[in-house]
Amino acid sequence: MNKEALLVIDMLNDFVEEGAPLEVPSARQILSPIKKRLKGARKKQIPVIYVCDAHRDKDEEFNYWPRHAVSGTRGAEVVEELKPERADFVVKKRKYSSFLGTDLELLLKELKIEKVCITGVFTNICVFFTAAEAAMRNYKVVVHADCVAAPSEEAHRFALTQLKEVFKIRVE
């Protein structure tokens, strides 16, 4: 059996809460499905890895996105319903891909992970670039369609279609 990990990407207050700077309203609808996946993964002792935006105070990304997920602020914290547990891992990122400038790949190698199952937001940005890069790094990738969300249904569907057709990623 492939050694797998469950990734939870950017399920942070600044993306999920009503009125948040980069609110994805449909992110609140994926809380319950992600909770179920977390419970199942922990029961099977599958590593859970939270990948979280953690921007610097004057991050260049704020030139084109509203100020969000500033390291050390409440907005950069995982939403209460999905808080990491003691045995979980947390990787902080500043760019769209969970691999760029982080120690995610080192962690995956240490855990001998071959397959990543992806949940979180935004389907069309951080989920998309993480899934694509994982596939290009030869990981088996599954994106759980009921556990990812984007600002619009169109962006969500387009990203999932691209992941399936271009990268041959399993979307289920």
pLDDT band at 155 (very low <50, low <70, confident <90, very high): very high
- Residue from 118, 121, 96 nearest 108 by CA: 118
The mean pLDDT of 141-154, rounded to a whole number, is 98
Q: In this structure, what is the dihedral angle of CA atoms 10, 13, 16, 18, given to the nearest 10 degrees?
A: -160
Distances (CA, A) of 28 to 34, 102, 170: 10, 27, 23
Q: With respect to CATH, is domain 4-171 assigned 1.10.730.10?
A: no
- Whether the per-residue pLDDT at 1 is higher than 60: the answer is no
How many angstroms separate the CA atoms of 130 and 113, rounded?
15
- Residue from 118, 1, 150 nearest 51 by CA: 118
Note whether 156 and 24 are within 8 A (CB).
no
pLDDT in tens, 64-86: 999 999 999 999 999 999 999 99
pLDDT band at 91 (very low <50, low <70, confident <90, very high): very high
The mean pLDDT of 132-159, rounded to a whole number, is 98
pLDDT given at position 88: 98
